Amino acid sequence: MQERLHPAAAVDTPLAAHASEPTGPPRMAQRHQPVAASTDAPVPRAFDEPTGRLDGKTGVFVFLAFAAAYFSSALVRSITATLSPVLTQEFALQARDLGLLGGGYFLGFAAMQLPLGRWLDRHGPKRVILYFLSLAVLGCLAFSLAGSFAWLLAARVLIGMGVGACLMAPLTGYRRWFDAPTLMRANSWMLMTGSLGMLASTLPVQWLMPLTGWRPLFWILAALIVLSMAAIALVVPSWRPAPGAQRATPVSPDDHSYASVWRNRFFQKMSPLAFFNYGGLVAVQTLWAGPWMVKVAGYTALESATGLFYINAAMLVTFWGWGLANPWLARHGWSASRLIGWGVPVSLLVLAVNIAQGASTGWPGWALYCVASSVMGLAQPAVGMAFKASLAGRALSGYNLMIFSGVFVVQWGIGLLVDAFASMGLPPVASFQAAMGVFLACCIAAYGYFLSVNVDNPAS
């Protein structure tokens, strides 16, 4: 039987009532209770005062505004996979350069996660994301003007820094504004929106390239980000102190640090999977599936873009399905940890088969791998719910740091390994297989650690 964490981690949230229960999913009775302001109030309010919950209409508009920003961030994140043939030719890039260019985005992204968590807890999602997205706009414009690899890399790092709040800001707000089932559904549908952005980075980008060239595409991306900023400024409510936060209470040294996040055993249990398995999923989906299809499977640039389109379409449908299924799964005792425990071995098996088949592995194999790995998307809200609301921003940002540090390491590391194995005399197909084999070994080790830590989320 797994050890249960102390329920005090969620004492200031509605989840506290469930944390003390020994088994079973959170009770869903409150899901049917109205959370909007009383109908006899003189003026409609976005907030239900005792809980900080959003009413249904406001919640939809807030979700759509944040989703627009996350769509743009996912598009700019994934566009290098589609542009890799053009950038490789124009700037004479090697595999390691391409990996570093893709990873530079995630380096900038990861570098902002720790301060981001503090700022989210202190200033709230609306204010923080607007400042961050301003950097993303500047990064897109700088990338469009790049004349060298160093300039491209610096602009990608700046873009990564700027979109670093596009998922953590809404998840921090959802942690307070939505109940547990709605939070899980909103998380899955945010990831679905990200898949839609990745979808837009494939064939639509490939079709626009002959008309605009790759540089004006980044002017369009900058404009999309500005539009999403306007929507957030209009509809997202300003941050309010958590209920009861203004009561005179002693201030713990951990109230402004990450110490309690790093010490949390559930966080520790999930971190290696975040680094290698989740980070590797993003690295493959946003970069290495493309070069594999071109250099290993023999696809043309258009065929590779088409394959990426199908991969991201599969992920869009998958996350939509997770959003529909999550409340039912929670009611029937399928916690995030349990689903991850069953789902990760399937993804490892698919990855092993893809590597073994070599040139025979095209987009269907990588689509199946990404779909099987999508179960890792359940970990983020589970980690957020393992902490009290005032720590949610830091918990989510700390976990995101693990994910995107892993993306950077895996994305660049695969490129380094491909070049290293090629320099040892291996042909291109074998070089890719060997590099992916090293990645598979790391994922297996991370899953082994996950199984060895006998602790679960108290809110599950």
DSSP state for residue 360 in the 8-state scheme: G
Residue 255 is predicted with a pLDDT of: 56
pLDDT beyond 80 at 33:
no
What is the Rg, in whole angstroms, of the alpha carbon atoms belonging to the chain? Answer: 22
**What distance in Å separates the CA atoms of residue 433 and residue 428, rounded to the nearest whole number?**
9
Residue 10 is predicted with a pLDDT of: 37
Q: At 25, is the pLDDT very low, low, confident or very high (cuts 50, 70, 90)?
A: very low
pLDDT tens digits for range 324-366: 898 888 888 888 889 999 999 999 999 999 999 999 999 999 9
Residue 40 is predicted with a pLDDT of: 38
Query: Can you tell me the mean pLDDT for 204-213?
Result: 90
Nearest to 133, CA basis, from 188, 65, 191: 65
Q: At 241, is the pLDDT very low, low, confident or very high (cuts 50, 70, 90)?
A: low
Residue 8 is predicted with a pLDDT of: 37
pTM, entire model: 0.73
Residue 19 is predicted with a pLDDT of: 36
**What distance in Å separates the CA atoms of residue 352 and residue 361, rounded to the nearest whole number?**
11
Residue 95 is predicted with a pLDDT of: 83
Beta-carbon contacts of residue 403 (< 8 Å; ≥ 6 apart): 274, 275, 278, 279, 282
According to DSSP, the β-strands at 455-456 and 3-4 are parallel
Q: Tell me which fold the domain 11-19+55-241+264-453 belongs to.
A: Growth Hormone; Chain: A; (1.20.1250)
Cα four-point dihedral sign 105, 304, 420, 371: positive
pLDDT beyond 90 at 1:
no
Spans of all domains in the chain: 11-19+55-241+264-453
Residue 263 is predicted with a pLDDT of: 92
Output the CA–CA distances (angstroms, integers) from residue 57 to 14, 170, 193, 272, 394, in the order listed. Answer: 21, 16, 19, 38, 28
pLDDT above 90 covers a percentage of the chain that reads: 54
36 against 162, higher pLDDT = 162
110 against 32, higher pLDDT = 110
Least confident among 44-53, 74-83, 211-220, 294-303: 44-53
Least confident among 236-250, 286-300, 310-324: 236-250
pLDDT beyond 70 at 31:
no
Q: At 293, is the pLDDT very low, low, confident or very high (cuts 50, 70, 90)?
A: very high
pLDDT beyond 80 at 52:
no
Cβ-contact 177, 127 below 8 angstroms: no
Q: At 37, is the pLDDT very low, low, confident or very high (cuts 50, 70, 90)?
A: very low
135 against 110, higher pLDDT = 135
**What distance in Å separates the CA atoms of residue 424 and residue 376, rounded to the nearest whole number?**
35
Residue 460 is predicted with a pLDDT of: 52
Torsions phi, psi of 36, nearest 5? -75, 170
pLDDT tens digits for range 164-193: 999 999 988 988 888 877 888 888 899 899
Output the CA–CA distances (angstroms, integers) from residue 23 to 9, 44, 77, 162, in the order listed. Answer: 17, 39, 40, 41
pLDDT beyond 50 at 42:
no
pLDDT beyond 50 at 104:
yes
pLDDT tens digits for range 154-163: 999 999 999 9
* Mean confidence (pLDDT) of the chain: 84
pLDDT beyond 50 at 291:
yes
pLDDT tens digits for range 303-318: 998 998 999 899 999 9
Residue 242 is predicted with a pLDDT of: 54
Least confident among 240-244, 318-322, 352-356: 240-244
Q: At 274, is the pLDDT very low, low, confident or very high (cuts 50, 70, 90)?
A: very high
CB under 8 A, 24+ apart: contacts of 226-232: 226/137, 227/68, 228/65, 228/68, 228/69, 228/71, 228/72, 228/133, 229/69, 229/130, 229/133, 229/134, 231/64, 231/65, 231/68, 231/69, 232/65, 232/66, 232/68, 232/69, 232/126, 232/129, 232/130
